[in-house]
Amino acid sequence: MIYLVRHGQTHFNAERRQQGRMDSPLTALGRAQAAAIGRLLQDLVGKPDGWRLISSPLGRAQATAGVIGAALGLTVETDPRVIEVSFGEWDGRLRDELAAEHPDTFGRGDWQFCAPGGESFEAVEARARDWLASLPPEPERKVIVVSHGGSGRVVRGAYLGLPRAETWAQDVPQDAVFRMASGAVERIDCPVAAAP
């Protein structure tokens, strides 16, 4: 079983700014989301014996994973294969600015993969498949992974064998956990976190 989590809200998320491989700290809401996800995972996992907690190396995922790890008593491992998609020259740019500069591109569902110097969908999918293949088989597989909006979509799509358009059309909540088991993906919503 895999529990897939997106990092909590960051300042860039709140600004509608492309993060990609750039980083931005969690907001107060993001920290509250991480704590709520930690409590939800405590209920879902029960005893954490045999469970692994894996995170993207980026700071926002590490911060979220740290909160989850503290709640479950797990040490955070890092794996670069679940890092966010690189949007190349568009990393750090406001989406509204990009939409104004590239109106035709923004009409596409996967406009992020049109970024100059960015990562291709195929490259992201290859590393997602490689990561999934490296995990133990079910039922021995007991993994919690903290990833990102883009790469998390691709991990779920690779797990389900979805085509590109369906993979990229999936939602990317910061207040839910995706349970991936027995060839299915189930969204488990987390009670809405209130920022302190």
Residues classed as catalytic: 7, 84
Instruction: Reduce the secondary structure of the chain to three states and give it as a string.
Output: CEEEEECCCEHHHHHCECCCCCCCCECHHHHHHHHHHHHHHHHHHCCCCCCEEEECCCHHHHHHHHHHHHHHCCCEEECHHHCCCCCHHHCCCEHHHHHHHCCCHHHCCCHHHHCCCCCCHHHHHHHHHHHHHHCCCCCCCCEEEEECHHHHHHHHHHHHCCCHHHHHCCCCCCCEEEEEECCEEEEEECCCCCCC
